[in-house]
């Protein structure tokens, strides 16, 4: 059962928290990639200097104007792409960065996408390293901005978020976002969420 528009059109912070434990699913026909979302960050529309759209939208960020459930992907550091899901209703700006997932299905293909070699000589560390960071899981799934920017994750027949039971609040850690030191007053907002003790989170 996929998550519908109503889920994503809510407040960004609620969407970020409730995405924990849900499965991100990418169906390529011959292979299905599935990963449990274990770490997210909220970028909000309340004077959040860390948000790309805090001064208004540009060509890069225009999809944030769409209703919740659309996909926002951007380039970072010249070499990587990060995956976000737009939240809030149309014209209200907010997005959730997916920072890490735990592989559930398609792990052999993820391994090949990341390392360009077969699944044979694997070790525990290389498995954890598949998807324990925001650019890592994008590479593991083989997602690109060109293919998925602006796609509606509630309607598209390739990509969706699969419903799973809520994570209990005692198992959710709430902390500061990563690498937003430039964001002045916004840098200490507690807008990063992750599942307690999950091995795939990007940082403690």
Nearer CB in complex with DNA: 7/200: 200
* Beta pairing partners, 34: 25, 105
Nearer CB in complex with DNA: 170/204: 204
Window 23-52: contact mask with DNA (x via CB under 7 A): ------------------x-x------xxx
Q: Does 202 bind DNA (CB under 7 A)?
A: yes
Q: Which of these ranges, 2-10, 24-32, 70-78, 164-172, lies near DNA under the rule CB under 7 A?
A: 70-78
Least gap, CB of 157 to DNA (angstroms): 26
Q: In whole angstroms, what is the distance from residue 70 CA to residue 120 CA?
A: 37
Least gap, CB of 199 to DNA (angstroms): 12
Binding footprint of DNA, residue count (CB under 7 A): 35
Q: In whole angstroms, what is the distance from residue 147 CA to residue 131 CA?
A: 20
Largest CA distance in the chain: 49
Least gap, CB of 125 to DNA (angstroms): 8
Of 88, 96, 92, the closest CA to residue 71 belongs to 96
What is the number of other CB atoms lying within 10 angstroms of the CB of residue 149? 16
SS3 label, residue 101: strand
């Amino acid at each position: 059962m996929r998550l519908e528009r109503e889920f994503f059109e809510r407040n960004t912070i609620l969407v970020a928290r409730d995405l924990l434990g849900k499965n991100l699913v990418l169906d390529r026909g011959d292979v299905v990639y599935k990963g449990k979302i274990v770490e997210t960050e909220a970028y909000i529309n309340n004077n959040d200097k860390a948000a790309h759209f805090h001064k208004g939208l540009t060509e890069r960020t225009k999809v944030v104007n769409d209703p919740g459930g659309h996909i926002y992907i951007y380039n970072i550091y010249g070499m990587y792409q990060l995956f976000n899901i737009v939240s809030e209703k149309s014209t209200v700006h907010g997005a959730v960065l997916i920072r890490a997932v735990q592989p559930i299905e398609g792990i052999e293909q993820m391994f090949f996408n990341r390392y360009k070699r077969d699944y044979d000589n694997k070790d525990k560390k290389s498995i954890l390293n598949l998807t324990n960071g925001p650019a890592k899981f994008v590479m593991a799934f083989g997602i690109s901005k060109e293919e998925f920017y602006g796609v509606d994750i509630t309607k598209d027949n390739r990509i969706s978020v699969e419903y799973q039971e809520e994570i209990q609040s005692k198992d959710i850690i709430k902390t500061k976002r990563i690498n937003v030191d430039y964001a002045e007053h916004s840098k200490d907002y507690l807008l990063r969420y992750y599942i307690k003790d999950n091995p795939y989170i990007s940082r403690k």
